[in-house]
């Protein structure tokens, strides 16, 4: 779409770009360029116009629209079918409806705001407009259902890598799938599956990233943060979305070769915030403490108990925290 092409040109220019130059580059009229500029401004871009000089993008634009996301995802297998919602209840719900209607694997749903974002154990995810990334992808793998839970770990690696690439922040993983920066949570991942007998109909991987929030509700402000708070400047959400799925495709392809974490285990463990640390295992059958040593090829967390025995902790209803707090 023209406005996306205009925005790309303005982003690459360090100074003013004349209207005629934009027209000549894109092969469109001045009227078309002016309409595109108006649309970009209405979506939040700060674009200065000066006679005889042209147009200048005054600050990095964080535009979340179907066109901007499609442009960022160019060349990606994921997002070829993209559904963008300025406001929706939950992108996982939207993808489930699309999946039941026959949507192809790789279909991506992205929202600027969720009214019913979901976290683990049915918790609501704080998803205000204009701040975060709320997205879900549809996968139709052919492996056994027993391997599905490991996709959450694969997605966690992708998000950690993308945050590092786009923001420069060191993002780590709190097993199995929380992403933390400076010991506070910036991302949650929720994987849901539809199965029939021993056959996977589809898997939905939902990702919520706190990107440009400047504050949080009282009940989570001590454990949650955003990339903007930690870096001190806003992050382009479309760029981060594209980076997440670029990393995910790489890790997912490697995962499919073995259908377990054997090829990814060492890299995952290098990102594990609790590795070689004392943790508290919150099991409904009874809490206990031990030292975490990383995951095995099945994605289970290996924790040495106080009696010296080594336990395999499986994700699901079990949570793992630091002895003295969230991590």
Q: Quick one: three-class SS letters along 31-69?
A: HHHHHHHHHHHHCCCCEEEECCCEEEECCCCCCCCHHHH
Distance CA 145, CA 316 (A): 14
Q: Alpha-carbon distance 221 to 291, whole Å?
A: 27
d(CA 96, CA 190) in angstroms, rounded, equals 13
Q: What is the DSSP letter of 250?
A: H
Question: In this structure, what token pair is assigned to residue 316?
Answer: 């699901």
Strands 82-85 and 108-111: parallel
Task: Return the pLDDT at 260.
Answer: 97
Q: How many CB atoms lie within 10 A of CB 281?
A: 19
| pLDDT at residue 126, as a whole number | 63
Q: Output the pLDDT for position 230.
A: 97
* The two three-digit tokens of residue 19, written as one number: 């209207």
Q: How far is CA 239 from CA 30, 54, 198, in A?
A: 28, 26, 37
Q: How far apart are CA 132 and CA 85, in angstroms?
A: 13
Residue 67 has what pLDDT? 83
Question: Residue 115 corresponds to which tokens in the numbers above?
Answer: 């009214």
Q: What's the rounded Cα separation, in Å, for the pair 110 and 82?
A: 8
Measure the CA–CA gap between 119 and 179, rounded to whole angstroms.
Answer: 13
| Residue of 248, 236, 166 lying closest to 207 (CA atoms) | 248
Would you give per-residue pLDDT tens digits along the chain (327 residues)?
788 788 878 877 878 999 899 999 999 999 999 998 888 887 767 888 888 889 988 765 577 888 889 988 989 999 999 999 999 999 999 999 999 999 999 999 999 999 876 655 455 656 678 899 999 999 999 999 999 999 999 999 999 999 999 999 999 999 998 999 999 999 999 999 999 888 999 999 999 999 999 988 888 888 999 999 999 999 999 999 999 999 999 999 999 999 999 999 999 999 999 999 999 998 888 899 999 999 999 999 999 999 999 999 987 667 888 877 788
In the chain the domains, ranked by start, together with CATH numbers, are 2-57 (1.10.10.10), 66-270 (3.30.930.10), 278-322 (2.30.30.100)
Q: What is the pLDDT of residue 187?
A: 95
Neighbours of 101 (CB within 10 A): 7
Q: Tell how many helices (H) and how many strands (E) occur in the chain.
A: 9, 14
Dig out the tokens for 259 from the structure: 């259908």
Q: What is the pTM of this model?
A: 0.85
Tell me, what's the pLDDT at 125? 58
The whole-number pLDDT of residue 8 equals 79
6-15 burial, b at 16+ Cβ within 10 Å, e below that, comes to bbebbeeeee
Residues linked to residue 55 through DSSP beta bridges, in sequence order: 17, 49
């Amino acid at each position: 779409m023209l406005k996306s092409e205009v925005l790309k040109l303005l982003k690459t220019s360090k100074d003013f770009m004349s209207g005629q130059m934009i027209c000549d580059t894109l092969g469109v009229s001045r009227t078309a360029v002016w309409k595109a500029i108006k649309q970009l401004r209405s979506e939040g871009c700060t674009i200065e116009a000066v006679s005889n000089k042209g147009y200048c993008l005054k600050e990095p634009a964080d535009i979340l629209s179907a066109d901007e996301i499609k442009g960022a995802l160019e060349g990606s297998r994921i997002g070829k079918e993209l559904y963008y919602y300025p406001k929706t209840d939950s992108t996982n719900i939207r993808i489930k409806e699309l999946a039941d209607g026959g949507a192809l694997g790789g279909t991506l749903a992205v929202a600027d705001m969720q009214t019913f974002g979901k976290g683990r154990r049915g918790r609501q995810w704080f998803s205000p407009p204009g701040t975060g990334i709320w997205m879900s992808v549809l996968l139709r793998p052919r492996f056994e259902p027993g391997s599905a839970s490991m996709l959450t770990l694969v997605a966690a690696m992708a998000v950690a890598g993308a945050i590092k690439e786009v923001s420069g922040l060191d993002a780590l993983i709190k097993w199995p799938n929380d992403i933390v920066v400076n010991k506070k949570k910036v991302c949650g991942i929720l994987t849901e599956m539809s199965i029939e007998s021993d056959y996977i109909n589809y898997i939905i991987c939902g990702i919520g990233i706190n990107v440009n929030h400047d504050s949080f509700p009282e009940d989570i402000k001590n454990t949650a943060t955003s990339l903007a708070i930690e870096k001190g400047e806003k992050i382009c959400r479309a760029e981060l979305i594209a980076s997440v799925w670029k990393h995910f495709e790489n890790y997912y392809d490697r995962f499919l070769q073995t259908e377990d974490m054997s090829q990814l285990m060492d890299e995952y463990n290098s990102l594990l915030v609790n590795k070689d640390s004392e943790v508290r295992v919150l099991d409904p059958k009874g809490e206990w403490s031990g030292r975490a040593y990383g995951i095995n090829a099945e994605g289970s967390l290996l924790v040495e108990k106080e009696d010296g025995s080594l336990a395999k902790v499986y994700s699901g209803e079990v949570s793992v925290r630091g002895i003295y707090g969230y991590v």
